[in-house]
Amino acid sequence: MTSRESASFTLPTRRGFLASGAALAGASVAAGASSASATSASGHGAGGGEWPPGPGKANTAQRADAELRAILREIDPHRIRHTVETLVGFGTRHTLSTQTDPHRGIGAARDWIKAQLDEYAAASGGRMTVDVQSYVQPPASRIPVPTQISNVRATLRGSDEPNRIYLVSGHYDSRVTDVLNGTSDAPGADDDASGVAVSMELARVMATRRPRTTLVFVAVAGEEQGLYGSNFMAQSYAAAGADIQGMLNNDIVGSSTADDGTRDRRSVRLFARGVANPPTDDDLARIAVGGENDSAARELARFVTEVSTRDVTGMDVRVIYRLDRFLRGGDNLSFLQAGFPAAIRFTEPNENFDHQHQDVRVENGVQFGDLPQFCDFDYIAGVARVNGAAMWSLSAAPGTPRNVKVNTTSLTNDTTLTWTLDPAAASYEVVWRPTTEPLWTHRINVGKVGTATVDLSKDNVIFGVRAIGPQGHRSPAAFPLPG
């Protein structure tokens, strides 16, 4: 008997759930987030009432436990400000800038980041290690001469499942208008000292904790020249067979003020790719059954909305179903291309392009340049809390279920799902939502089983399966492929 065949669960008929299920269906998934509701037009038929009716309880946000709330309280905007201003103080951090000057250039920034992370690791009791991952990039696009590119990495080893990895990243290189100008001042406060500050602050706060899985806090280089540092890191992890189940990229998360002066101190955009270009085999299998909106990246994004609600982080996560903004990209793409499909990107809600990729100057009374005076350090702390809630909750839960399949061998009006049992899981939930809803609306606890049959047609809704840990922590859901 295989693990997938070891146990099963069959729900009673849907009619037994109509009285309670219809009343519960479509409740809000997360405070401040858009989801199905009793007045959602997409969930109603012409005659009124929730449609399709089906089993389960309303899907609700995952409650933050005491340890997570303690972690988030320790995130300090003053330390974040110190990190951003120190990085700006190196003058330029351009990938082609000096690597030998102790006070200026990307080499000085690299050494300072390493020293800070070493200091944090000293409090970890040996659980956190810090290394500089370097290689020499031969001449290539935006790299005119052989150039050493160095990523700085703090790895906090997991206590129970050290081979399962979650990674948070920002890039510490910077640029001005001319992408090959490695000598002019390139402060890079928002892009992307802000993202590095998120990664480093989480490394500081979590160094004294004991996560179940391995957490990695990264500052990469070479992003502005073409994602060189993150590509090298992602390919190195892939070659080692690493099990990276989530990558959170923070790039331009420093400002809450738009170019027209309006301010939004609560929203952070979360970009999550659907189908790859070109599509992978899994993409093609999902497309064949209408699952193009249920990539691993989008399931991770849905998970983030459930664990980082406003009452936990003070922030609203605004999921955007795109890889990135138009004409832009980030280090999450390197991990996606290396075969790690759950890679996503955080970015501030409204960008001011006068403060990105610009020579520092004043024109017609307008200040150009990516200067720290345009950063909102309390806002960056809010983004760090979102990342912290996601990282810790991912680590506290079992891994994302594997080998999730939906039986499509015959025509039925019910749905049978199977998956591989995980020893770390105490039970499993089948989640579902109407096809037009962005977030999961219903959940059904089916116990510690490897198969479940739900009296609801797979033709009418989107299904997923997630694992539940002994303390109630939920994993991201996995979309079932035909099998």
The per-residue pLDDT for range 406-419, each reduced to its tens digit, is 999 999 999 999 99
- Identify the pLDDT of residue 49: 66
Lowest-confidence pick of 41-55, 252-266, 279-293, 426-440: 41-55
For 175-183, what is the mean pLDDT?
Answer: 97
CB-neighbour burial class of residue 196 (10 A; exposed 0-12, middle 13-18, buried 19+): buried
- pLDDT tens-digit profile of 358-409? 999 999 999 999 999 999 999 999 999 999 999 999 999 999 999 999 999 9
Lowest-confidence pick of 9-23, 248-262, 333-347, 348-362: 9-23
- Identify the pLDDT of residue 50: 78
For residue 30, pLDDT beyond 60: no
For residue 344, pLDDT beyond 90: yes
- Identify the pLDDT of residue 29: 29
For 295-324, what is the mean pLDDT?
Answer: 97
Q: Which two tokens stand for residue 332?
A: 């999450």
Lowest-confidence pick of 34-38, 330-334, 381-385, 401-405: 34-38
Domains of the chain: 3-58+402-482 (2.60.40.10), 66-396 (3.40.630.10)
- Identify the pLDDT of residue 9: 59
**Residue 406: how many CA atoms within 13 Å on its side-chain side?**
29
pLDDT tier at 23, thresholds 50, 70, 90: very low
For residue 48, pLDDT beyond 60: no
For residue 43, pLDDT beyond 80: no
User: pTM for the complete prediction?
Assistant: 0.91
For residue 2, pLDDT beyond 70: no
- Measured from the Cβ of residue 276, the count of other Cβ atoms closer than 10 Å reads 16
Lowest-confidence pick of 6-20, 206-220, 303-317, 368-382: 6-20
pLDDT tier at 7, thresholds 50, 70, 90: low
- pLDDT tens-digit profile of 455-471? 999 999 999 999 999 99
- Identify the pLDDT of residue 17: 34
Contacts of 2 (CB under 8 A, 6+ apart): none
pLDDT tier at 51, thresholds 50, 70, 90: confident
For residue 1, pLDDT beyond 90: no
For residue 36, pLDDT beyond 80: no
For 213-225, what is the mean pLDDT?
Answer: 98
